[in-house]
């Protein structure tokens, strides 16, 4: 279950990033996390800490609670 949630969060964050027209290095600079971390999170190969999720959500203009509660519905 945790693995599926990580995959869904990663997909949703990637969709939101792309919707905003940001490249991974640009999001990295805004969020203060490494590009590699973003790659792993978006691929569902990492279980990011709450701090990392908060940094990414903030950089993407998202509410962290929404990211955790409804990971498949962030592209709006």
- Looking at residue 1, its pLDDT comes to 44
The structure tokens 């600079």 sit at: 29
Environment class of 76 (CB within 10 Å of its CB; exposed 0-12, middle 13-18, buried 19+) = exposed
Domain positions in the chain:
2-68
CATH number of 2-68: 1.10.260.40
Q: How far apart are CA 52 and CA 63, in angstroms?
A: 13
Q: List C-alpha distances in Å: 5 to 12, 15, 20, 45.
A: 10, 15, 23, 11
- Of 69, 66, 61, 22, give the one whose Cα is nearest residue 42: 22
Instruction: Write out pLDDT tens, residues 3-50.
Output: 578 888 888 899 999 999 999 999 999 999 999 999 999 999 988 898
Predicted TM-score (pTM) of this structure: 0.83
């Amino acid at each position: 279950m945790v693995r599926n949630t990580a995959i869904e969060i990663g997909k949703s964050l990637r969709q939101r990033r792309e919707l905003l027209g940001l490249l991974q290095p640009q999001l990295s600079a805004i969020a203060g996390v490494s590009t590699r971390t973003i790659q792993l999170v978006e691929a569902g190969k990492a279980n990011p800490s709450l701090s990392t999720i908060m940094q990414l959500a903030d950089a993407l203009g998202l509410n962290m609670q929404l990211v955790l509660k409804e990971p498949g519905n962030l592209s709006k």
